[in-house]
Structure 1
Amino acid sequence: MNRERAMEFLHKAMELPGINRSSIGKVLQIDASQVSRIAAGRFTKLDGHALRVCKYAQSLVEGAHTHADGSFSELERKLARLSSVNPDVARAVSDLIDALAKD
């Protein structure tokens, strides 16, 4: 992913309902001010926090496009809402899914 594409994903992600600099920071455990700097393009290399933020944004955008026809299940909507509000829930659900996938 190049810088231009990464910034495109980040800006598109922040247009999604419930997604903002603060919610991204909470999920990734990065201060919202750093997410703001990244969103403004104030970083030198696409690595570290900048890469994490942009990859997360990419996953949000691609996930939204996958379900652009409105086919989100009730469970998906609930998980998305919980995860955007509480980063601990996002990590716990991720750990649960990883554990279930190993079986």
Structure 2
Amino acid sequence: MLICMKPTSKQLSDLQARIAEAKVQKGLSWAQIGRIANVHPSQVGRICSGRFKTFSHNVVQVCEALGVSVPHLEPDTEGVVPEWAVAQSSMRRIWDETPEGAKAIAKLLNAIADLQHAREGEPPKST
């Protein structure tokens, strides 16, 4: 499941301004930022021009490339099963807000799932 966090209008406008300022200060082109962030230059242009409404993976990658911190957002839990909200909260507590940290958590959760499946006699499903 891809989670895109929706910021408040103030958080959005603040981040848009900080991205634009960082791009000018660093003197980087969209293509250069794209290579650093591993994001297509057209997406970098959209992001650097402030045309985004969520803190998607690409926005976070561009921010990281420019040295801009992304505000911490709490996911909307309305309509979420309470037990799943507890699990999400626990994952958020251990995540260091880096792509590497997210990959490490996913790897750990996949290993746990493989152990559960092995107990049930099923083959592992993780990649």
| TM-score with structure 2 setting the length | 0.40
The structure that has the greater radius of gyration is 2
| TM-score with structure 1 setting the length | 0.47
Task: Point out which structure has higher relative CO (alpha carbons under 8 A, 6+ apart).
Answer: 1
